[in-house]
Chains A and B, each alone.
Chain A
């Protein structure tokens, strides 16, 4: 009977071969071919030129992931300590923004951060800018917030924070309470209970949270275009530019995608070695 049921997997295996494996093979083929056809390594030869972009993307994505973790972990932890009714409402509130398209939410940030945007107007109104000018002897009319790397990080944190909170929360909520009681009975104070029991046990959640924030952050192109002003490219922008943007060169685009994919996979494998048992981690 087991064998019969295993036939159920066949259609999907075919589907995966067609639409998961074959497309990735296409990327590899493109990465190693010249525009006129034929094998070449030229697409990789210039990869050094783009090292800056790789560096910038990984830096911003790492910062965003760290910020998400620093905000997301405490929030998940505190949520788990509230009553069931609060938790329910909080879960709804965290998932709800995903139903408003992320481009629109990001666009909304544009109008908040603009030089003449809502935040700067607010600062002018309450005299913060005048105060700043007085203290630092400057003569500014607004804070320059949009089109900076900080704005890009803010966009990433804003869009991907729920992906950090949800897996961590769902791990913490399933913790066996008798473990915590046992630790306390054995004389651990609350800091030690947290550090020695809760934190290690919530590790799988943290790991999948990190993955779910880091991967989209490192490859985004819409957020950086909208909040970063498009002057400093990120990896996603670079790839998009080679395919549908202003510098058509799909072979180079495929090569960059391939390198990015390899780096990300290596990072994930290394990270998962640190936290065996990640299989239990819940995604969303």
Chain B
């Protein structure tokens, strides 16, 4: 064949540049002093140090490696046997089974994920009925009645999508194998078991190894299927990253990726250099060896020289198995844990460490995107939490659907510290279920460098003058609220005409290109970086953004706004209710509230903390707290009087919200 021309080579080089530009960027910014992914602030290794202290990330790396190794080991063994079985079947049966086997590979990941999630949850319901009945009729064995998504389901899902890849790479090797070999072995007195071990296995080994490698790569790279099957207690690295891309990705993630990348790169380089050496020695025969990387690695593994590698792999797999068994058994032991689900950037993380040190209870801290998303997580069975921190209207809805547990306030003495005006609020009139966490207002944030007049009306959210520069809420209640406020309707209207009018306002603005995007916590990055001019969001978060961009201003428009209260609740069948109450009590303390106020910039419902905060600030930073900032943080009563809080809507209206919201996306 003719050699490539210079033009062709440049083309190939450009493609590789395209593939690697973002990766190089990631690597470079893992050494950045600042926490930006675009602005270089100098060289540092800080993020690498922080990485090893970050439990959330390390834990998810561990989960990822563990699930990938285990799933690979199981899938490789199972897949090899299955391939041999398939191969020995009659043609028609084999064809039918191969089609079923191809389903997980051909199907879209999201369908596989959703299907498994539905299946697991349905199975859990059946199981719980069965276990209750079973525990009732006999008392010898006590079956657990409540199963949840977790490491087990994650592992099953990974094994299921890995096996087809193993079969795919083993089957061709079986087909290439000389069929007479097995018969000859049997004739010479082998049992079929011996024939398998001594004849078949050595023949198909390269296929097995390359199948295992493919399976492992797929497992590590997977996000979508894990997302639907892992539940809330175990999260893979991909899931942690996904959670972060919604707000700010810490450069620690860049650091861990760089480390993984360099490790794999080194491994591959070593393998390739070894092979190149073999080639030089082996001459002609070896030069012919080409083919996909996986196959070449497998060949390296099966050469005598690769024996140490093989033994290493076997040892690693065995170790992974032992570790996982220990982890699984220790996890099932009643360890002191509490699963908390809150919002992004909504806690001073030092508090978690402090609580763990004081009580020995491990906090598994997760975040949800919005009240509606939290509701979906709870309903679909994907979220298995003890403590949640929903907003007022969602609390009413959860109480209405009997999903919350009544709290034992005897375990929460700090509840007495809560300001009287924040007790017995309409969402929980007798205050049986909740302890307030934080409160605030919704307003418009705008960049004074990009908007030349002060904004005073919600109309700015629909004004084509700012087309392409406006960020709208990505949750139905808040997005509809901006339109309802502008139109002068109540935030709690159930009138279909008014709601449709508000929807039309949003839909028209969207059609006219007003919105740059629909966001939740992505707004931090976009407003701070000056990538958008106007966005509606929460007051406390505005103050966080102000720390990073001084041009930003906040306004509660003339038409009024929403004021909200987020409160901690415990789910009805939470397995760790006592730990949950200990956590709630800890967070309700004045010290924790002060620390939180200082970190998240939301107002505290704790009377002492709210009063003491300006003094606390002065002591900490040795400067006075700007009264204007304090007013945005903890809006005075006359502003709150202009605001309305959300009430729970009747089911038909909620249905309408869902339909309109889905339609808006179309």
A interface residue numbers (CB < 8 A to B): 1-13, 15-16, 19-24, 26-27, 30, 49-50, 52-53, 71, 74-75, 78-79, 81-82, 84-85, 87-109, 111-112, 114-118, 121, 144, 146-147, 158, 161-162, 166, 169-170, 173-174, 180, 190, 211, 215-216, 218-219, 221-222, 226, 228-233, 236-250, 253-254, 257, 260-261, 264-265, 268, 282-284
Which of B89, B118, B272, B518: most chain A Cβ within 10 A?
B118
Per a CB cutoff under 8 Å, which of B223, B375, B468, B518 touches A103?
B223
Are B376 and A97 in contact, with the CB atoms below 8 A? no
Contact B217 A99 (CB under 8 A): yes
The answer to whether B38 and A229 have CB atoms under 8 Å apart is: no
Q: Is the CB of A254 within 8 A of B272?
A: no
Interface centre among A19, A26, A92, A248, by most B CB within 10 Å?
A: A19
State whether the Cβ of B4 lies closer than 8 Å to any Cβ in chain A: yes
User: Is B186's beta carbon under 8 Å from chain A?
Assistant: yes
Nearest CB of chain A from residue B383's CB, rounded to whole Å: 9
- B115→A9 contact, CB < 8 A: no
User: A residues within 8 A CB of B221?
Assistant: 98-99, 101-102
A94 and B19 contact, Cβ closer than 8 Å, known pairs A12-B82, A230-B519: yes
Residue of A nearest to B221 (CB): A98
**B97 close to A9 (CB less than 8 A):** yes
Q: Is the CB of A244 within 8 A of B108?
A: no
Is the pair B23, A100 in contact by a Cβ cutoff of 8 Å? yes
Decide: B109 and A81 in contact? CB cutoff 8 A: no
- B621 interface residue (CB < 8 Å to A): no
Contacts A11-B81, A232-B665; is A111 near B37 (CB within 8 Å)?
Answer: yes
List residues of chain A with CB within 8 A of the CB of B118.
Answer: 23, 26-27, 30, 250, 254
User: A196 to chain B: closest CB distance in Å?
Assistant: 15
Instruction: Specify which of A9, A78, A283 is in contact with B89 (CB 8 Å cutoff).
Output: A9
Chain A contacts of B4 at CB under 8 A? Answer: 78, 81-82
* CB-based contact A12/B38 at 8 Å: no
B658 to A237, Cβ gap below 8 A?
no
Q: Is B2 an interface residue (CB 8 A)?
A: yes
24 A-B Cβ contacts within 8 A? A1-B195, A27-B118, A75-B15, A78-B9, A88-B296, A103-B238, A108-B37, A111-B25, A111-B37, A112-B22, A115-B532, A118-B25, A147-B517, A173-B291, A215-B106, A218-B108, A228-B517, A236-B108, A237-B665, A244-B373, A246-B369, A246-B476, A246-B661, A284-B294
* Contact status of A239 and B110, CB under 8 A, knowing A12-B82, A19-B160: yes
Shortest C-beta distance, B467 to chain A (Å), equals 11
Q: Mark B219-247, 1 if CB is under 8 A from A, else 0.
A: 01101100110000000011001100100
Chain B contacts for A9, CB-based, 8 A: 81-82, 84-86, 88-89, 97
Within 8 Å of chain A (Cβ to Cβ): is B308?
A: no
Question: A95-B217, A118-B38 known; A112 and B97 CB under 8 Å?
Answer: no
Q: Assess the B666–A53 pair: CB atoms within 8 A.
A: yes
A213 CA to B276 CA, complexed, in Å? 32
Check: B629 CB closer than 8 A to any chain A CB.
no
Task: Name the distance in Å between A227's Cβ and chain B's nearest Cβ.
Answer: 10
Are A1 and B382 neighbours in the complex by a CB distance under 8 Å?
Answer: no
Of the candidates A52, A147, A226, the one whose C-beta lies within 8 Å of that of B666 is A52
Cα(A264)–Cα(B105), bound, Å: 13
Assess whether A246 is in contact with B475, with CB atoms less than 8 Å apart: yes
- With A15-B78, A50-B666 as known contacts, state yes or no: A2 contacts B23, CB within 8 Å: no
B211 to chain A, nearest CB (A): 10
- Closest 7 CB pairs between A and B? A9-B85, A229-B517, A219-B108, A8-B85, A23-B115, A12-B82, A108-B22
Q: A114-B38, A222-B224 are in contact. Are A230 and B517 (CB under 8 A)?
A: yes
Contact A5 B110 (CB under 8 A): no
A3's contact among B88, B238, B272, B287, by CB below 8 Å, is which? B88
Cα–Cα, bound, A106→B246 (Å): 13
Residues 368-383 of B, flagged 1 when their CB comes within 8 A of A and 0 if not, give: 0110110111011010
> Nearest A residue to B382 by beta-carbon distance?
A244
Given A9-B82, A108-B25, A229-B516, 6 more pairs with CB closer than 8 A: A20-B100, A97-B19, A100-B257, A230-B517, A260-B108, A283-B168
On whether the beta carbons of A5 and B223 are closer than 8 Å, the reply is no
Cβ of B320 under 8 Å from chain A: no
Of B111, B186, B279, the contact of A1 (CB 8 Å cutoff): B186
Q: A5-B196, A99-B261, A244-B377 are in contact. Are A78 and B8 (CB under 8 A)?
A: yes
Q: How far apart sit A12 and B515, CA to CA, in the bound complex (Å)?
A: 50
Q: Which of B592-609 contact A (CB under 8 A)?
A: none
Contacts of A99 in B (CB 8 A): 217, 220-221, 260-261, 264
Is B26's CB within 8 Å of the partner chain A?
yes
Chain A CB within 8 A of B417 CB? no
B249 within 8 A of A: yes
| A75-B15, A95-B217, A115-B531 given; A108·B182 CB < 8 A | no
Collect the chain B residues with CB atoms within 8 Å of residue A7's CB.
85
The smallest beta-carbon distance between B12 and chain A, in angstroms, is 5
Q: Which residues of chain B from 77 to 94 have a CB within 8 Å of any chain A CB?
A: 78-79, 81-82, 84-89
Residue interface bits B632-666, CB-to-A below 8 A is 1, else 0: 00000000000000000000000001110111011
CB neighbours of A237 from chain B (8 A): 665
Contact A26 B658 (CB under 8 A): no
Task: Return chain A residues, CB-CB under 8 Å to B351.
Answer: none
Q: Are A84 and B287 in touch, CB under 8 angstroms?
A: yes
Contact partners of B37 in chain A: CB under 8 A: 107-108, 111
Smallest CB separation, B320 vs chain A (Å): 18
Contacts of B16 in A (CB 8 A): 90, 93
What is the interface residue range for chain B against chain A? Answer: 35 or more
User: Does residue B20 face the partner (Cβ distance < 8 Å to A)?
Assistant: yes
List of A residues within 8 angstroms of B296 by Cβ: 88
Q: Are B38 and A116 in contact (CB under 8 A)?
A: yes
Q: How far is the CA of A89 from the CA of B88 in the complex (A)?
A: 38
Minimum distance in angstroms from B28 CB to a CB of chain A: 10
B105 A15 Cβ-Cβ under 8 A: no
Q: Is B460 interfacial (CB 8 A cutoff)?
A: no
- The interface residues of chain A lying within 8 Å CB-to-CB of B373 are 244-246
Residues of B within 8 A of A243 (CB): 114, 117, 228, 376, 380, 382
Q: Which residues of A contact B20 (CB under 8 A)?
A: 93, 97
Tell which of B1, B22, B89 touches A158, judged by Cβ atoms closer than 8 Å: B22
Q: Given A99-B261, A118-B38, A246-B474, does the pair A105, B22 have CB atoms closer than 8 Å?
A: yes
Distance from A144 Cβ to chain B, minimum over Cβ atoms (Å): 6
> Which listed residue (A87, A111, A236) contacts B290, Cβ 8 A?
A87
A79 CB to closest chain B CB (Å) equals: 7
User: Do A21 and B122 contact each other (CB < 8 Å), given the known contacts A84-B290, A103-B242, A245-B373?
Assistant: no
- Name A227's closest neighbour in chain B (CB-CB): B517
Of A16, A90, A98, the most chain B CB neighbours within 10 A belong to A16
Closest residue on chain B to residue A174 by CB atoms: B291
| B372 and A247 within 8 A (CB) | yes
Residues of B with C-beta under 8 A to A118:
25, 38
CB of A222 within 8 A of CB of B242, answer yes
Assess the A22–B106 pair: CB atoms within 8 A: no
Contacts of B1 in A (CB 8 A): 81, 180
Contact at A219–B12, with CB atoms within 8 Å? Answer: no
Cα–Cα distance between A218 and B114 once the two chains are bound (Å): 16
As a 0/1 sequence over residues 422 to 448 of chain B, the CB contacts with chain A under 8 angstroms (1 = contact) are 000000000000000000000000000
Q: Please, which residues of chain B bring their CB within 8 A of the CB of A3? A: 88
**Chain A residues whose C-beta falls within 8 Å of the C-beta of B116 in the assembled complex:** 19, 23
A100 touches which one: B15, B228, B260, B293 (CB < 8 A)?
B260
- A210: min CB distance to chain B, Å: 12
Query: What residues of B have a CB within 8 angstroms of the CB of A226 in the complex?
Result: 245
- Of A92, A115, A241, which is within 8 A of B268 by CB? A92
- In the complex, the answer to whether B662 meets A79 with C-beta atoms within 8 Å is no
Which residues in window 341-392 of B have CB below 8 A to A? 369-370, 372-373, 375-377, 379-380, 382
Chain B residues lying within 8 Å of A180, measured Cβ to Cβ, are 1
Write the chain A residue with the least CB distance to B101.
A16
**Minimum Cβ distance to chain B for residue A96 (Å):** 6
